[in-house]
Every structure is written in C-alpha cells, then in structure tokens.
Structure 1
Amino acid sequence: MSLDGDVIVRVAAKGDGVTADGRHAPLAAPGDRLLGDGTLIAGPHRQVPPCRHFPGCGGCRLQHLDPPSEAAFVTERVSGALAGQGLSGMVRPALLSPPRTRRRATLHAERRGRQVTLGFSESASHRIIDLAECHILLPSLFAVVAPLRTLLATALKDRSRADVHLAQVDQGVDVLIAGPIADGLAAAEGLTRFAQSHGLARLSIDDGYGAEARWEPEPVTITLGGVPVPFPAGSFLQATADGEAALVAAVDAAIGNAAIVADLFAGLGTFTFTRPARTRVYAGEAGREAITALKAAAGRAGRVVAADHRDLFRRPLTPAEAERFDAIILDPPRAGAREQATTLAQAKAPIIAYISCNPSSFARDAKMLCEGGYRLDWVQPVGQFRWSTHVELVARFVRDDVTPDSPRR
C-alpha cells in the first residue's frame, strides 16, 4: 500500500468498494483512496447521497456513486458473472431508471401502542427505517406512506408487524396490507373510509387466508403493450415503467419479427402483449392468478395467445416443443431456469431472449445453452432498481445452424 493509500478500482456485487489487491471498504466509490487505518479519501466518482436515510435504509446501497459509476457497476455485474462461467459476449452499456420512478414496493410496518414505524428494513436487519423521504418511490406511492402510518395506528393489531405492498396501476395506487388487522365493524369501516378519502384504486387485506379486496370501485388493471390486464393484489410488476420499456425494447431487438413465439414464465404478459398483434404466442406460467388474468386479457383484446397453466420447473418445455417456435422468451425468477435451460440446450429453436434479474443464475444457464450449441450474441444490462445492487438484463442467444425459416416440427 502506498503512503497515499490504495485506489478503489471497482464496486463488488454487494456494494463494497474493492482495491486492486482485494481490500474491501464499505461505501467506497471508484477513485476513492483507502488508507491503512480504513479512512476513505473521496475521489471523483463519489457524490453526496440525496436521502437522509442513506446508508441505514436497506432500500438503497449505492447512493454514494455518481451515475457513470453506478452504470459501470451494473455492466460489470453482468460481465463478471459471464466471466465466472468462462463466457464472453458483447455487453452493452447499462440503462438506469431515473430516481423516483419505482412503481411497486413492499414496505414493512410495526405497531407499538399508538406508534407505527413504516418503511424499508435496515440493511441486514429486521429494524424498520421510518421513512420521512424516499428518492426511489414514485411520488404517488410515497404520498400514501404518511396516511398509511396513521391508519395502521388503529387498523393493525398492537405489537404486531405487517407488510404493505404498494403498486401504481391504471386506476391509481393499489395497496395490499398483509398482516393481523384489528377485528370489528368499526375497523372495517375505517379501512373503507381511508381508501375512499385517499382515492385508492384498491385496498386489500391478507390476514393469512389470501388477499381480500375491501375497496375496489372498479376492476384494477395494469396496461401491458396497450392491453389492460387484470392485476391480482400483490402481483409481480416490473419495478419501473422506464425499466420495463428498456427490457421490452431489448426483447424486440432480440427476436425481431418472429411469427410464432413462446413466452415462458410469462407472468401477467409483459412480453406476451408487447408482441405485434398478429404474432401467435404460447404463454406458459405456473401462477394460477397470473395466467388466468393473462388469458382473460388476451381474450378481450382478441390476441392469438395460448395461455398454459404450467410449472416450468417441474415440466419444462421439451426440445420437440421448443422447436415449434421461431423464438423463445425466457423470464424466470431469481433462481433462474436450470431445468428449462437444460431442455432448450438440446433443442434447435433459432433465437432465445433471456430476461434475468440475477446475473449469477443467468450465467449458469447461459453456459448450458452455449454448451448445447447456442451463441451468446449480446447482453443488455438494465438497472431499474436505482441505487440497489439488483441488476436485470436481456440476452440474445442464436443458433447459427438454424434460422427462423427452418421447417417447424
């Protein structure tokens, strides 16, 4: 180590800065200098964190990085995961969602007497940070935080905790409270008055037996690709509209004008409904509520969609089934799609567009696909969880020995 300290050269997967010789330093930015006693000397890529709750709040880990360094972190997460599997490919510059654009979030609430704490959990802790401001949530979502805190002071049972799921839907703000709610007519009427007075799209309660809507003046939907889709309470939704648009654009670029497409782990249809209306789509999804909503929306919109309630971990698409499609869209959860990637590696589908929220499981599956004969063409990293260490991506895999014009089985 020099007398001037060691320079932080990169940010590791969990957010620590790392020197060339492998020393780690929390809250360090590239270009900072790490002295022998652990002191950090600020470098050119450090910025003043905008939020008073940083770094305690677990909602953000990287507010001390300037935008170029954060974008580089997102890109390096992807290239590093690929390198760990002995793979390479063109990794495009990362796309970051702007601040205050998160349209879904899960907050945690705790009541002690008349006092309610409501916010994200502290990093690596169950302690809740009581949000006084937030630079990631949409303003419309943050606007209901303080009123919800007041509501929960009577609606939530004393000395208990709850999860509060917020989502921006077509009709406004959707709220799902999962936890022990006070009993009685007065409590129920209070929930309805609250939802009505604050103009909520829906207020649902899940006390352990599934979500039950207590206020829903009109059916709640989320529009995907121009199609209004019923939105079950607590459903998955891409974190930001900006991030969703980036993922959709990358999928469009990956599969082009493919006429027959399989959308695996389809969810509510983020990628199903953004295909051209003339496209024939097979949508496979294990979540019963999600696939029911997708099927209903497709029927109303007159889309040619075969919606299949199918657990792709236990019953992945077979090689013979996969080869019926011009392109396959694969959007698994964080664990990846080991079982489905195994069968796809044996198939000769011309193109695979793989969407991932976990570079490590993606790289593992990518290796299987490449060993099966696919070529990794490019990867588009997307940082829609601004200032967090979560990274998403779209990757394009192609088989050079087959084209979309090859005869389908």
Structure 2
Amino acid sequence: MSDHSQIVRLAAKGDGVTDSGQHVALAVPGDTVTAHGEVVPGAHHIEPPCPHFGTCGGCQLQHADEETLRNFVHDRVINAAKGQGLEAGEVLDTHLSPTNARRRATLHAMRTHKGAVLGFREGGSHRLVHLDECPVLHPDLTRLLGPLRDFVGSHGPKGNVNLALSLCDQGVDLGLEHFPLDGLEATEASLDFARDNALARLTIDQGYGAETVWEPEPATVTLSRMPVAMPAGAFLQATAEAEALMVADACEWLGEARLVADLFAGLGTFAFALAGKGPSSRKVLAAEADQTAHLACKASSARMGGKVLAIHRDLFRNPLQPSELDRFDAVLLDPPRAGARAQIAEIAAASGLERVVYVSCNPSSWARDAAILAAGGFKLAKLRPVGQFRWSTHVELVSLFER
C-alpha cells in the first residue's frame, strides 16, 4: 500500500486537496504528499516567479502552471453554476490576465527606524512583506515601489499607511491614507515627490477625507475611446486586457438591442462601448449609485449625442421595477461582490425583457442571482470564466441569459 496521497484538485482558497479530502498548502493537482506531509512536486508544479511568494498574501497560486490556473478559474465558475442546477449552453475560453498587467492596487507601508517597509500584507496577517518587485503589477506601478518607500521612510507618520495606486491616461494616480503632513517641509516634500515621479495626481487623507494636492491636468481614463474624468479612488477593472474582453463579449451578445439599461454602470465602462458599437440608433441608460462616478459618466455622456443617459440611482434600495425594465430590449449589470439580489428579482419579473448580460466578480453571489433568473424563465446561454487577478483565487466571469 502506498504511503503517498495524490493531489486531485484545488480548493477555493488555493490549497491542494487529496483524494481523501485532506487540504495541503502549496500543492497542485499531480503532486503527491508523503505520510510526513512533504509535498513531492508533479508535472504541474512550477517554480514561483516571485521571491516573495509564500509570505506575501497578494498571490496564492504562483506554483501552479498555466493549465492548472486555467482549470482552477474554469472550475470555480462552472461548479458555482452547477451548485444552483445551472448549465451553460456554451462555455467560452477562460481568460487569464498576463503578467505585469494589473493597473490598480492598494499597498501598505509603515515607517521604521531604518526607513520603511512597503508592500502587501502576509496572508492572514497584518505583517507587511517588504516588496522589491512584483510580477503582477503594471511596470508603471512597480517603478514607484522604491521612491514610495523612501518617501514614507522620510516623511511618513507612525503607524500604518495605505497607498492606493491606479493607472489613468496621464500616469499614476496615488492616494495616501492615514498620512498627516507634519509641517511645511512635509507638504513641500509631497509636492516634490509627485513632480519628480511624474504622478498624474496625488491625494492625501490626513484624517478628514482625501484632498488633492497635485493634479497638473485633470485625470481621465479612456473607456472605449471616450475620455472620462476619473474621480480619486474610482473603480477600474484591474487589467485593460480583461476589460476589453468583457466589453467585447457584452457588445457581441447584445447584438441588435436598441435600448439597453446598464446597471451599476460606474464610470461607464460598458455604457460607452454599447452606445458606440451597436446599431446607430442604440441608446443606453447608465444607472449608478456612487455620485462621483455618476457625475463623471454624465459629463462624458453629453458628448455622445444623447446616446447615453446617466442617472443617479441606488439600485440596492431602489431597483428598476418591471414596468421600467419592460421598456428595454436588454439589461447589462456589473454589481459589487455581494451581487444584486433585489435588482435581479425585478429583472426576473419583467415579462418583456428577453436578454441579460451579467458581469460578476463573485461566482457565489452570481450563481445565487442566476438561479433567480432561471426561475423567471431565463436560460444561461453563454458563460466565460475570467481570471483577471493572475495567481489569485479571486475569480470573475461574464455571462448571457436569454428567454
């Protein structure tokens, strides 16, 4: 009898699972585990590309090869659907974002007597991992690691500092949180840092909300060839590659629909694409609860010749009703991780609505909502798993429902 156990699958949090149900950290399918718990690498176990892997909590699956990563993303989405009794008419190829593509991230830093520690936190801990490199981040974000560490070491406060980085049209948008500026010298140093590193914008929260201290020209993000004002801290899809694919799927699937409701529209990631790539007479309603995102979308929609109408509406408390939804040929929604239970219930009850594109960053809440659509007569026609956060257990998807 062999004293080795075989790893047969990956669990949702990235652990390898043996045929007997034992969870083993840092193991992938094809590995074996000795009686003493030692992992013997198999054909799908590779050398992690980052020296910080294993301590940094930013990645969980750098030891898995491309095939294993793709299967993990695919299986997470398909199993979520099957858990609700759903089967897709067509499952499209799984998307994996490339390396060095992530254009937004929140890092953490702490000033020490030797300077500063800056990076992601360890998995399940508040301890910081000192990052010298990161194969996930876009190079424009990575190049700031050293200068940011020096700046925090010289002018940062005691305690933890949050650093939100996003890539916009003009460069890197940097937001510092829990970062009081102690005197004129620190204020001038922050401006010097922004100028010397060609930041698009620098905002600092000293305890009273984010204040913009540097923005040579208005920060924008281009969405389907439409420059849109980018509020500080605004949501962006993590990679341009995943955004482009999901937008292309939505535009193809909505075909000849002439009146579309884009719910949880944000800055207009999908709205501007749908208005520009569909029939010449297509119009899009873009509904968003966050006021700054809504106003940015509204300002740019004025340049669409009436093809995009932006409205400010909290779809959790005040979802579109069936009488409103029945006016549309199709609906697209891209809600937060919690899903959109209230809005989905109204969509399922809208008798005249025949097509729904649902973009999700959480297969579990999506599957729960999808079951409500299925009970309302919709069928899951197309489904694409999306691994936008490379080497992470965070899985996304884009789907089409028809009835």
TM-score normalised according to structure 2 size: 0.96
What CA distance in whole angstroms lies between the structure 2 residues aligned with 1:209 and 1:324? 43
- Give the match for residue 102 of structure 2: 102
- In the alignment, residue 259 of structure 2 is paired with which amino acid? I
What CA distance in whole angstroms lies between the structure 2 residues aligned with 1:354 and 1:220? 29
Note the C-alpha offset of 1:11: 0.7
What CA distance in whole angstroms lies between the structure 2 residues aligned with 1:18 and 1:296? 51
- Give the match for residue 67 of structure 1: 66
* Aligned positions of 1:184-199 closer than 5 A: 184-199=183-198
User: Is 1:326 the counterpart of 2:329 in the alignment?
Assistant: yes
Q: Percent identity?
A: 51
Note the C-alpha offset of 1:112: 2.6
1:385 to 389, 392, 400: 389
DSSP-derived class of the 1:109 partner: strand
- Give the match for residue 143 of structure 2: 143
What CA distance in whole angstroms lies between the structure 2 residues aligned with 1:61 and 1:331? 25
Structure 2 residues without counterparts, runs of 5 or longer: none
What CA distance in whole angstroms lies between the structure 1 residues aligned with 2:356 and 2:149? 45
User: Is 1:216 the counterpart of 2:218 in the alignment?
Assistant: no
- Give the match for residue 369 of structure 2: 365
What CA distance in whole angstroms lies between the structure 2 residues aligned with 1:261 and 1:214? 39
DSSP-derived class of the 2:271 partner: coil
Show CA shifts across 1:188-219 (max 9, x none). Answer: 11111111111111111122322211111000
TM-score normalised according to structure 1 size: 0.95
- In the alignment, residue 53 of structure 1 is paired with which amino acid? H
User: Is 1:9 the counterpart of 2:8 in the alignment?
Assistant: yes
* Aligned positions of 1:87-236 closer than 5 A: 87-89=86-88, 90-113=90-113, 115-157=115-157, 159-236=158-235
Note the C-alpha offset of 1:94: 1.0
What CA distance in whole angstroms lies between the structure 2 residues aligned with 1:196 and 1:171? 13
DSSP-derived class of the 2:8 partner: strand
What CA distance in whole angstroms lies between the structure 1 residues aligned with 2:391 and 2:231? 28
Cα RMSD (Å): 1.3
1:300 to 300, 303, 313: 303
* Aligned positions of 1:10-25 closer than 5 A: 10-25=9-24
Show CA shifts across 1:346-372 (max 9, x none). Answer: 113111000000000000000010011
Tell me the matched-pair count.
Answer: 397
2:107–2:164 contact (8 Å) kept in structure 1: yes
- In the alignment, residue 156 of structure 2 is paired with which amino acid? L
What CA distance in whole angstroms lies between the structure 1 residues aligned with 2:209 and 2:283? 34
DSSP-derived class of the 2:373 partner: helix
What CA distance in whole angstroms lies between the structure 1 residues aligned with 2:255 and 2:208? 43
- In the alignment, residue 326 of structure 1 is paired with which amino acid? D
What CA distance in whole angstroms lies between the structure 1 residues aligned with 2:255 and 2:96? 24
What CA distance in whole angstroms lies between the structure 1 residues aligned with 2:355 and 2:18? 39
1:281 to 273, 280, 284: 284
Note the C-alpha offset of 1:160: 1.4
What CA distance in whole angstroms lies between the structure 1 residues aligned with 2:310 and 2:13? 38
Note the C-alpha offset of 1:319: 1.0
What CA distance in whole angstroms lies between the structure 2 residues aligned with 1:7 and 1:316? 49
What CA distance in whole angstroms lies between the structure 2 residues aligned with 1:144 and 1:121? 18
Structure 1 residues without counterparts, runs of 5 or longer: 400-409
Which contiguous aligned blocks of 4+ residues in structure 1 show a shift greater than 4 angstroms? Answer: none
What CA distance in whole angstroms lies between the structure 2 residues aligned with 1:145 and 1:118? 8
